């Protein structure tokens, strides 16, 4: 995979993020085919990227409670 230019990325996090003092993730919607994901507490740390279709399937499964606890 080619390198992404992430310096000017717009990051967002869920309104549920850190509501109980837990871990927070941020995602970017700036790319049509991939979704960059990072730890909001480590803004300059590593970024994972997922194919957009795979990320959408993951989010849907989480919302439906299909992944367990």
26 near 12, Cβ under 8 Å? yes
Q: How high is the pLDDT of residue 56?
A: 95
Of residues 19, 1, 40, the one with CA closest to residue 9: 40
**Amino acid 22: pLDDT:** 65
Bridge partners, residue 11, by sequence: 28
List the structure tokens of 33.
């085919």
The Cα–Cα gap between 9 and 36 comes to 9
Specify the pTM. 0.77
pLDDT tens over the chain, length 69 residues: 456 778 888 999 876 666 666 678 899 999 999 999 998 888 888 999 999 999 999 999 988 999 876
pLDDT at 18: 65
Given the structure tokens 């992404």, which residue do they identify?
4
| pLDDT value at residue 7 | 80
């Amino acid at each position: 995979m080619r390198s992404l230019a992430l310096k000017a990325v717009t990051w967002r996090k869920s309104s549920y993020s850190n509501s109980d003092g837990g871990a927070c993730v941020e995602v970017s919607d700036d790319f049509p085919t991939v979704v960059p994901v990072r730890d909001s507490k480590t803004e300059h740390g590593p970024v994972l990227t997922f194919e957009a279709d795979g990320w959408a399937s993951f989010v849907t499964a989480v919302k439906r409670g299909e992944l367990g606890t």
